[in-house]
Amino acid sequence: MRRLDKILLWNLMAAVIILGQARPNTKLHLQSSSGLKSDCAGNLMRLLLDKALAVGNQLEVDAINGTQHAVLTPSLAAQCGYSMESDPWGNTRIYTSLLGCYVDNKEDTTFNTGLRLRMYSQSPSEVVSHDVTQTCSYSRWASREILCDRNYMEVSNHMATPDAQAEAKGQAPDVKDDSKMNAIPGATDKAHGIWKMTFHTPEPVAMVLREAEQAGYGAMTTSKRLVMRSPYNTAETYSEDVAGVPMEVFKVSVYCKAPHGLTVLNLAAACPKGGVLFTDDVISWHVPRRVTPLIDGSFKVLEMHMGIDGQRLDKSQMAARGYTLSATDFHIVIELPVGSPDGYYKSHAPDYQYHITYTVEPMLEVLWRSDKSQDDTRYKILFPITTPLMPRPPQVSDLTSTEDRLFSVHLGTFLHDVELRNITFSTGVLTIEECNAKGFTVEEHSSPNGTKSYTLQVSFDADVVLTHNPEPLVTVYFLPLVFGFIILPEETPFAHPVELQASLQDVVLPTVTGTCDQSKFYISVKYGSQGSNFQTMVGPQQLTPELAEVYNFQENSTQFSLQVPYTAKDTAFELITSDSVRARLDLLLWEPNNNWVLGDLYLSCNFPLTTIECYPNGTMTALAVKVESVPNLIPSWLTLKDKSCKPVFSDDRFARFTFSVDSCGTTRTFFDHYMLYENEIGLYNNNNKGAATYTSSIDPDYRQTVSCYYVVNETQTVTFGYKPRSRDPAAEIGSGQLMVQMRLAQDSSYELFYQAEDYPVVKYLRQPLYFEVELMQSTDPRSELILENCWATLNEDRTSLPSWDIIVDNCENRDDSYMTMFHPVMADTRVTIPSHIKRFSIKMFTFTKDEEVLKDEIYVHCDAVICDTNSQADGACSGQCVHPTTLSNSRFQGVKGVKREQRSTDLTHQKISSGPILLLNTQSSL
């Protein structure tokens, strides 16, 4: 919890700091109008750096004391008594021990501290420096003072005279007896100070001062005190459990030269590494009341104080904030409400789920007195606490209004460091700007407590809304959403899905009307509210594009019409007479998914038709027609009374007979002034074995009587003619060349693009790259460009390794946490056919191996496929992937080789590349 690399942030990358809310602090002295404030907090000097000063900069801190000047690296800071704490938005606190290395110490009562802050912007040459000085007075030194800061432990002891110290500790005989062993080579009365030390781990480890300093320890003497300082987790510290609380312990015996001989001081420090309990509402911090590594025998607690951010609080301040400080037999307990104004909340997204933490930095200061030695010990701990991750799934309020036909959803609440970046609809991903441009109202709402929420409104009639009809007259409107958020300043992504649904009885069914003339049925179908979302059955078969062409299909946005000849195979003949036929056309509007009949029409009309012709030469022509009442009739099996007289022509609906009046069993009857010739067309089951196959006992027999009347001196004739309709010719398939280009846009508007002279284009890590791929010199709206695969390489060679997949099989790379984003293309003055253009964006990255950048350039390559939008093809032409998939937990930046299989050659493929794109490294060695 208190690790150096997690706490000390000397190289603060303030370039990622964005708008946040600073924590309230106690009243401080204003160092300058530049956002720097400093004050004294007991044995510490505290400097506060406001986020407004750090935005866009890198921070480097130097310690200064007169002519002394040192860059405070993490190791030097822990060795010399400096620490720094920064929240995610750049609000920074720097603490300096008054016994630090570069502090001007005046007789252990007056301390002058100096710091130089250097702010680096984008260019290293642009630097702003701020010198901060603060004078602190501190004279209430206890015999022993122990300080537990974030990155080091410090202990200082009052240095008594050698005789007094020996008498107090009863060590004079040992020192005198061991004087030869502890003799200091070349020591004189004038040479005094720290000579060597023995660390107790608990096994003794001896070092001279130079070795201890090289190991990272700090050791010094002032006019009256001996100071030792140790970073956490060194080889000479150890862990010990005290009253159930893990402590890190540092013990050392220091040998000091003095004018009167050698003095040995035993120093110890112990700092807690845990002891925190959490509930949903309260943080309880437990510190051992008796810190056994520091206390030998009985003791008495003289003072006990708590504070925040290194500053003491009085009882009224504690009560106002709800803080409590108490003691039990074994612990000193500080309780702080979760959400108190002295801490801050932070958003997180583990596994892309929304969580929050609360961070606060309490301080405990205890003064106790040993009953045995009557020496006082002041024990001061600065202890940052962060709660465990607390899940905060966003609450969804469905405010949809069916009366207004408007989806409305409220989503919240979020902390101020959350930003809504995009929303995924059924048609693709849209940024918030694109949502508002399409008429989808997206609004952010801020609350007085610093939280925020979002609302979205979408009309039922928007193209992103899906519909379903559970009943013929009922429409269910369905709006699937995925809200895409990022957490600032880290830009950590997470998402929250929302599904909205509403039902309305608002379906208007289509209507069918029809008329007839002498030869055709005329059908008109007016669309309902569902448009042409149905199938049409003409007679027994579905209306296909081929059949629609035969029936002169005409359509507009509200209706379609058909012209069906009564002789078409999809009509039914109900009744035949000598001069007409009654035909019927059945039209059915069909919803196939639910087997619903949306509309129907059964239209019967009489059409003129001559079935018998009598010629003067004694020849008769008769036309037999298959009627609906004999469904299994096959006209070719019909005969005249003489069964050897078969049709001269037949198809599946007609049979034509031509015969002379003195043949085929034709009878003749005389009347007063005319003659009647008569025959019969029929199907004779008993004598025709094949006929039994097509008829049954329940089918009626087919009988059609044909006759001609001849007046003695005149003959009446009727003619019949038939001309089959020929099909329209079809065009042959041609061939040509297609060209595809890929360009890199300067921003998400895709209005300005980098030219050839701009490459290589320089980008920062995770800065968006906006690509556009376009099918050139084509005006065919039925063509669509599909991005099949896109990948990045280090070299211009598209087959080189390593490579990283950006688009795989028409979709974004599912192994990439910074997922590729597709951007919709709308028609405008430049884009006439949106299906000819695809747009996507990625975040700038680099290839690494063993945590080292292989090269600072990348090239992007794509394989594109040109498809026919009317085709029902699978595979690459099934469409560009627009639905997001589950994101992986981290972005892989290792070396990856990809084997790409040879693609099919029955599609039109194009290969395109872009680059190089140059990565500008923003890392600092400070």
Question: Mean pLDDT across the stretch 636-661?
Answer: 92
Pair 632, 697: CB distance under 8 Å: no
The answer to whether residues 285 and 373 belong to one domain is yes
- The pLDDT assigned to 870 comes to 76
Q: Between 55 and 211, whose confidence is greater?
A: 211
Tokens of 58: 């890198």
Whether 765 and 914 map to the same domain: the answer is yes
Per-residue pLDDT, averaged over 237-260, amounts to: 92
- The band of 901, judged by pLDDT with boundaries at 50, 70 and 90, is very low
Question: Residue 628: which CATH number?
Answer: 2.60.40.3210
Q: Which residues contact 63 (CB under 8 A, 6 or more apart)?
A: 69, 70, 72, 80, 82, 96, 100, 101, 102, 114, 115
- pLDDT surpasses 80 at 911: no
Q: Do both 451 and 520 map to the same domain?
A: no
Cβ atoms of 915 and 858 within 8 Å: the answer is yes
Whether residue 426 is found in the same domain as residue 365 = no
Q: Which pLDDT belongs to residue 888? A: 36
Any domain includes 19: no
Comparing CA positions, the residue from 661, 627, 626, 617 lying closest to residue 641 is 661
Residue 161 has pLDDT above 80, yes or no: no
Would residue 854 count as lying in a domain?
yes
Q: Give the Cα separation of 498 and 482 in Å (integer).
A: 6
Last residue of a domain, one of 386, 417, 448: 386
**Averaged pLDDT, 493-511:** 94
Whether 365 and 412 share a structural domain: no
Q: Is the domain of 661 the same as that of 555?
A: no
Rounded Cα distance between 427 and 798, Å, is 31
SS (H, E, C) 71-119: ECCHHHHHHHCEEEEECCCCCEEEEEECCCCCCEEECCCEEEEEEEEEE
Domain match, 782 and 808 both: yes
* Pair type for strands 331-337 and 282-288: antiparallel
Pick from 454-468, 576-590, 672-686, 856-870: least confident: 672-686
Higher pLDDT, 162 or 44: 44
Q: pLDDT value at position 873?
A: 64
User: Which of the pair, 379 or 32, is modelled with greater confidence?
Assistant: 379
The predicted model scores a pTM of 0.59
pLDDT 10s digits, 269-320:
999 999 999 999 999 999 999 999 999 889 999 999 999 999 999 999 999 9
pLDDT range class, residue 772, cuts 50, 70, 90: very high
The rounded percent of the chain whose pLDDT value lies above 90 is 57
Give the pLDDT band (50/70/90) at residue 404: very high
Average pLDDT along the chain: 83
Question: Does 778 share its domain with 913?
Answer: yes
Confidence of residue 895 (pLDDT cuts 50, 70, 90): very low
3-state secondary structure of 827: coil
Indicate whether 843 belongs to any domain. yes
End-of-domain residue from the set 386, 420, 441? 386
CATH code: domain of residue 456: 2.60.40
User: For the stretch 829-864, what's the b/e string if a residue is b when 16 or more beta carbons lie within 10 angstroms of its beta carbon?
Assistant: eeeebebbbbbbbbbbbbbeeeeeeeebbbbbbbbb
Taking CA atoms, 500 is separated from 427, 478, 560, in Å, by 16, 6, 34
Q: How far apart are CA 417 and CA 356, in angstroms?
A: 11
Q: Is the pLDDT of residue 584 over 90?
A: yes
Quote the pLDDT of residue 82: 96
Q: How would residue 874 be classed by pLDDT, with cut points 50, 70 and 90?
A: low
The residue-averaged pLDDT of 205-214 equals 94
Higher pLDDT, 758 or 349: 349
**Which of 48-62, 604-618, 684-698 is most confident?**
604-618
Q: Quick check: is 464 in a domain? A: yes
Is 697 part of a structural domain of the chain?
no
* Residue 568 maps to a domain: yes
Question: What region, left, alpha or beta, does residue 405 occupy, with left being phi > 0 and alpha being psi -120 to 50 degrees?
Answer: left
**pLDDT of 683 strictly over 90:** no
Q: Which of 363, 386, 409 represents a domain boundary (last residue)?
A: 386
Q: Which of 100-104, 203-207, 726-730 has the lowest mean pLDDT?
A: 726-730
**Whole-number pLDDT of residue 166:** 44
pLDDT mean over 141-157: 96
Q: Is-contact 372 391, C-beta < 8 A?
A: no
Q: What is the pLDDT of residue 853?
A: 79
**In a domain? residue 882:** no
84 and 131 part of one domain: yes
Asked if the model's pLDDT at residue 504 lies above 90, the reply is yes
Contact predicate 834/825, CB 8 Å: yes
pLDDT at position 881 over 60 = yes
DSSP H helix total and E strand total for the chain: 9, 70
Q: Per-residue DSSP letters for 159-226?
A: ---HHHHHHHHT-HHHHHHTTTTT--TT--SS--EEEEEEEESSSEEEEEHHHHHHTT-EEEE-SSEE
pLDDT in tens, 525-540: 999 988 888 999 999 9
CB 612 within 8 A of CB 657: no
> Is the pLDDT confidence value at 336 over 90?
yes
Q: Please give the C-alpha separations between residue 851 and each of 491, 735, 842, 861, in angstroms, as whole numbers.
A: 21, 51, 21, 25
Q: What's the pLDDT tens digit per position in 455-479?
A: 999 999 999 999 988 999 999 999 9
Give me the CATH number covering residue 772.
Answer: 2.60.40.4100
Segment 906-914 shows an average pLDDT of 69
User: Per-residue pLDDT averaged across 3-9, rounded?
Assistant: 33
- Predicted local confidence at residue 55, as pLDDT: 58
Range of the domain at 870: 739-877+907-919
Say yes or no: 750 and 873 in one domain. yes
Q: Within this chain, do residues 125 and 151 fall inside the same structural domain, yes or no?
A: no
Confidence of residue 226 (pLDDT cuts 50, 70, 90): very high
Please check whether residue 899 lies inside any domain of the structure. Answer: no
pLDDT band at 52 (very low <50, low <70, confident <90, very high): low
Is residue 54 within a helix (H) or strand (E), and if so which, with residue range?
A: helix 51-54
- Arithmetic mean of pLDDT, 36-58: 82
- What burial class does residue 905 get, using C-beta atoms within 10 Å of its C-beta: 0-12 exposed, 13-18 middle, 19+ buried? exposed
Structural contact between residues 307 and 360, judged by C-beta atoms closer than 8 angstroms: no
- Judge if 233 and 306 occupy the same domain: no
Q: How many CB atoms lie within 10 A of CB 275?
A: 20
Our count of domains for the chain comes to 7
